Chains A and B, each alone.
Chain A
């Protein structure tokens, strides 16, 4: 026995000695795969492209920070609690952000997650180009196009929010780990080229398996997004030296860019792969997770049911859980009070976009169910976006922090209005008119006389038409976080925001175009037990008439206890500093600190 033990130990020892050559200290990874396998196999490569989406969904990425915060405040939209001017969110959206913002200054913030997405896209692009045989394999070609498009999407947001940013178009190496900012023009040129390449790779809506859903990139979106990118690239913005100007790069000149935008938009419209449909239905589809292509929606960020804060941030507020939602959220952001009154009363977009009430009075039945709930008027100074509503959803949200709605990146109306804008610039209002009219007609169904009259007045000059585009994009896209970037590229940010403050003051005092409204609103709950009937929101309504209606309740709307309901604090919180000095956010301090001295904040920070 002892002998055996002795011998076996001796053999083992010998084995140990013999194995002592250098390759015994190699240890390759096990639970992973090599790029050549992943990017030559469509199902695996698709998983790698989904890795980019994962970065969007991270807690403080698009999900919790970029989508809720970028795009505010404007002449249409604001943070509904902006009067709390010491809150970092008020600073962030009120054009006075600080690099140490407690909302944003964390290592896992949107900036980091956007670059994480870019790195993942860069790896996908390199992998698909190296191993993917995209010339012969359509599935892999689609994925390459998708990766290129998503990368462009992130870059456009980076440039929108921060101006000049580091340009990373190859996977990181030790040498490229720390890069200084690159001129935004360099990035624009690259992503325009990428999108043009992607347009040759991805399929039109419904053309292949991937493009059945708006949650995957299709050619209509690629081209639409190319147009958007071109308009931004040619537009105004604040430069590092403090000036606000267009690009000096001849490649990004207005004529060239607008031509590209026009061609891309017309390709989309003429392809007839998507249709405008009804304005309301688009948002209902969004709320109901209907992602079929061919309708108005071109592309949506595919948040799963349990992730994302779209409705949570932009929807109509529910103060309690009720039969429509187990999540008492909504209404963090909302339209300016003036927006409702600025709409033409026949514009069907008005009541869909601007909601004066919240939901209250629901009763919890179990962890997954509640009952009741009815509408209660809120206050003049705080409105809600009605494009997103829990009550439109086909499922009940049970999560406490996330609603799972997709973020609609682009819809066909945008392509129409971009086409109108580009063509007006290049060829004048006559050629551009049909594209504006298409959108206008949808907003005034059965009211063609009004549309015709309007079209006649705005096509009078190129300038008038441009102003009409500025207005139309406001009424069409309020709450969709396009306005801020639009105002910047038109160089109208300061002017429009200043005008908005004046309008808010006028509204508060009911002077000028806001004259002629009663002090109070008069309301009752309709027969259905939940919806409101309100009197007092239309021009020409009077308190006398309202009181005579005999509704159950009334509420001081413009004036309460003898005081204007919109006060100066609230109005002034729209912007805390000249917006043109703060067109961009600062790069958050953690990223400056971690940049090895390569990054700095310009624009007067």
Chain B
């Protein structure tokens, strides 16, 4: 893991992240050798079906997981850029997930927006107090009145109508879209550089989804925030992302720029995923392609390519051993033996040996 990147350009560098859960004395690998880099001010979309490990990957980076999770990584490096100066944080070296080092990062540097706005707000506290909590925690000496001013400012920025009145309301008085705005306000209030959004609009209607996405895009373009968007909606990916990371059963199977993944779709899983989504304006009688079978249970996976059982191109060698990543073009990496004539992606051969 040589330091072969510019920490001014790369905000987050993850190398060989492995997350294993211990349940019933069994160890189940959920995230396997995940590596990616996020460029500063860009949006990365992480796509995959439920259970593919996309949320666990992000929770591992934020260190939100419980005691039964074992997180191992060569590097989880976060590079903060303040006033032209870069500060490096090595999250993988932080021992205590609830210690002061991690707490200093969460909020002012990186924060997260969760899927379900209904359950991520506390029903018995006023929304204004919930948003202000982070501010008061991270800025010793700030008065409540100052915090309230800041919260009002944030509400105005996020387009919550009548902020002076709404700040003293309880979550149940808000609609789903407005609640999600409050959750985004909580994530944004300490002015972090990296925002991880875990399916922020899955619980919302399409028209409200459009509003929230517009808001996130604004934050990225105008304020230069870096965004990781976890989703299973390929349409949102096409609209929001600069780079796309496709995951299947805990592994990154394809990684590349938006053009790479949508125009030169290479992994059979990504291809199938894109073809199985109903799109508006399909010709009459045109049938959707389906992916046969269902996602396997991560506890009974055998070695080799996880997608082999559902893949139309699967051969015996696919099941023999773990498949490494191949680099089709600069930045476009695919984990599939169909492309074994291409050079191995950086740092891969060693990882491929891991059983």
Query: Do chains A and B interact in one complex?
Result: no
Q: Which residues of B pack against A, CB within 8 Å?
A: none
